[in-house]
């Protein structure tokens, strides 16, 4: 499967003080890396999980909040859904507000599936506990200078600086799983031209806000407004995520408390809509909204998973779900390899993931054109956005198709 020559461009550690060996080194303890680590450990496949940050930081970092039902059921089947996740609130409606009118989209009824509202940091906390505390898995937090070596050989390795001793260590392995997100280092081990990266820029920024305030609606609300898009999403009984479209590269300092709430009130306003519950804004950051896909997701003995392989701007809440899908497929492929010597899963891993990736990218872009249409300054884009919204909320047939794409399914797996 893997050519046995050394990569011209890839560095190879010459000495490895404290050198050791495992089957799979997983770089990055996000949803993808942690899911994979738990599943490999459960299968008896030795693995080492390297994470650049501290446990405290990753367990507190708020990002995603909506899991698709198929993903939760897949975690549950593999014993990775804790009581918090299984007891979390399910949502099957969202609401679009435009020109003062509310349009409710009942995608749960239309598709038979719903979103589970579970903040990403809760899932990460559950998965760290399951791997490190309950299963006794090997996770090394605070790993610095992580570098992947020799991925075109049958003896790859990963070097890093140990957080406690400051010493450089190297772990030799059969495979590396690059689960280190959009800014990780594992992808850098692939030489120029080894994979292609396809990018798509949405041309807008989103100011991502977390407010210490109860949700103001029982569902996700998308405000389509000439001044810019806005969104409301529950993150728990006392915490709400809001988004405000802004120029790309805008500074969060341009958005003081008063301006944030005034824009949210305007852009999310509609007849008969209850007022927003306001509260302190505890997180403010600007996201440059772009997408990318790395093809293929495998290079030699490096398999990328999650945001390391594809970024989906958080328009339709897809990124964490894709990360979980990759981890499930990669775990299945490793199980077949280590149990039966069957390499077909690893060989087909990239294609299997990319089917769902491109489907979600396409849907994300379609929704993005709706939510950014009215603020585009282009009456043609605003008109087509309004037409799509009418079609999906008034025609059951069109609505069912959109609902299926919004919530995903096992069939995409």
Ligand X SMILES: Cc1cc2nc3c(=O)[nH]c(=O)nc-3n(C[C@H](O)[C@H](O)[C@H](O)COP(=O)(O)OP(=O)(O)OC[C@H]3O[C@@H](n4cnc5c(N)ncnc54)[C@H](O)[C@@H]3O)c2cc1C
Residues at the site binding ligand X, with contacts judged by CB under 6 A? 27-33, 50-53, 58, 63-66, 120, 143, 146, 179-181, 184-185, 208, 287, 306-307, 314, 317-321, 323
Helix axes 120-128, 31-43, angle to 10 degrees: 30
Tell me how far, at minimum, the Cβ of 15 lies from ligand X, in Å.
21
Q: Closer CB to ligand X, residue 216 or residue 325?
A: 325
Tell me how far, at minimum, the Cβ of 211 lies from ligand X, in Å.
13
Tell me how far, at minimum, the Cβ of 71 lies from ligand X, in Å.
8
CA dihedral for 157, 13, 182, 193, sign (positive or negative): negative
Q: Closer CB to ligand X, residue 382 or residue 402?
A: 402
- CA distances (Å), 402 to each of 77, 90, 172, 369, in order? 27, 19, 46, 14
Tell me how far, at minimum, the Cβ of 276 lies from ligand X, in Å.
19
Residue whose token pair is 């802004």? 246
- Taking the CB of residue 112, how many other CB atoms lie within 10 A of it? 14
Q: Closer CB to ligand X, residue 55 or residue 400?
A: 55
What lies within 8 Å, CB to CB, of 251 at 6+ separation is: 286
Q: Closer CB to ligand X, residue 91 or residue 375?
A: 91
Q: Which strand ranges, in their side-by-side order, compose the sheet holding 280-295?
A: 101-105, 94-98, 220-224, 230-236, 239-246, 196-212, 280-295, 310-311
Tell me how far, at minimum, the Cβ of 320 lies from ligand X, in Å.
3
- What's the angle, vertex CA 89, arms to CA 88 and CA 95, rounded to 5? 145
Element (H, E) at 401: helix 396-407
Tell me how far, at minimum, the Cβ of 389 lies from ligand X, in Å.
21
Residue 28's nearest CA partner among 172, 111, 124 is 124
Q: Closer CB to ligand X, residue 185 or residue 375?
A: 185
Q: Closer CB to ligand X, residue 51 or residue 245?
A: 51
Q: Closer CB to ligand X, residue 69 or residue 382?
A: 69
Tell me how far, at minimum, the Cβ of 182 lies from ligand X, in Å.
6
Backbone φ and ψ of 14, nearest 5°: -90, -35
Helix (H, G, I), strand (E, B) or coil at 4: coil
Residue 26's nearest CA partner among 318, 323, 312, 317 is 323
- Say if residue 296 is preceded by a cis peptide, omega within 30 of 0: yes
Tell me how far, at minimum, the Cβ of 147 lies from ligand X, in Å.
8
Q: Closer CB to ligand X, residue 304 or residue 382?
A: 304
DSSP string covering 248-299: TT--GGG--HHHHHHHHHHHT--TTPPPP---EEEEEEEEEEEEEEEESSEE
Tell me how far, at minimum, the Cβ of 28 lies from ligand X, in Å.
3
47-50 vs 138-140, strand pairing mode: parallel
Q: Closer CB to ligand X, residue 68 or residue 382?
A: 68
């Amino acid at each position: 499967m893997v050519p046995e020559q050394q990569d011209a461009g890839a560095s190879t550690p010459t000495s490895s003080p404290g050198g050791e060996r495992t089957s799979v080194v997983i770089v990055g303890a996000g949803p993808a890396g942690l899911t994979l680590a738990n599943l490999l450990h459960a299968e008896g496949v030795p693995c080492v999980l390297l994470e650049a940050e501290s446990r405290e930081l990753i367990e507190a970092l708020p990002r995603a909040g909506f899991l698709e039902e198929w993903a939760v059921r897949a975690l549950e089947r593999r014993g990775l859904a804790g009581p918090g996740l299984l007891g979390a609130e399910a949502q099957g409606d969202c609401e679009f507000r435009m020109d003062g009118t509310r349009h409710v989209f009942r995608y749960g009824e239309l598709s038979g599936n719903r979103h589970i509202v579970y903040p990403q940091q809760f899932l990460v906390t559950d998965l760290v506990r399951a791997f490190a505390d309950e299963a006794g898995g090997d996770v090394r937090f605070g790993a610095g200078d992580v570098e992947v070596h020799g991925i075109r050989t049958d003896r790859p390795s990963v070097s890093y600086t140990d957080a406690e001793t400051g010493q450089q260590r190297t772990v030799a392995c059969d495979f590396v799983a690059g689960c280190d997100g959009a800014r990780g280092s594992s992808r850098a081990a692939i030489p120029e031209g080894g994979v292609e990266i396809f990018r798509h820029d949405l041309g807008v920024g989103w100011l991502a806000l977390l407010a210490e305030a109860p949700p103001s609606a029982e569902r996700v609300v998308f405000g389509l407004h000439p001044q810019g898009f806005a969104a409301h999403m529950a993150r728990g009984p006392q915490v709400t995520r809001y988004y405000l479209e802004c120029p790309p590269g805008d500074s969060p300092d341009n958005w003081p408390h008063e301006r944030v709430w005034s824009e949210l009130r305007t852009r999310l306003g509609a007849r008969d809509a209850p007022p927003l519950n306001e509260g302190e804004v505890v997180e403010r950051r600007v996201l440059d909204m772009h997408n990318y896909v790395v093809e293929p997701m495998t290079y030699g003995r490096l398999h990328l998973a999650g945001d390391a392989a594809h970024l989906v701007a958080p328009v339709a809440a897809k990124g964490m779900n894709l990360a979980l899908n990759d981890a499930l497929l990669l775990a299945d492929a490793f199980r077949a390899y280590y149990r039966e010597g069957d390499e077909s899963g690893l060989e087909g891993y990239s294609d299997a993931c990319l089917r769902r990736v491109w489907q979600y990218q396409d849907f994300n872009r379609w929704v993005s054109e709706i939510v950014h249409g009215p603020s585009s300054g282009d009456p043609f884009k605003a008109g087509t956005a309004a037409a799509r919204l009418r079609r999906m909320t008034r025609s059951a047939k069109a609505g069912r198709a959109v609902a299926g794409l919004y919530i995903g399914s096992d069939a995409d797996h």
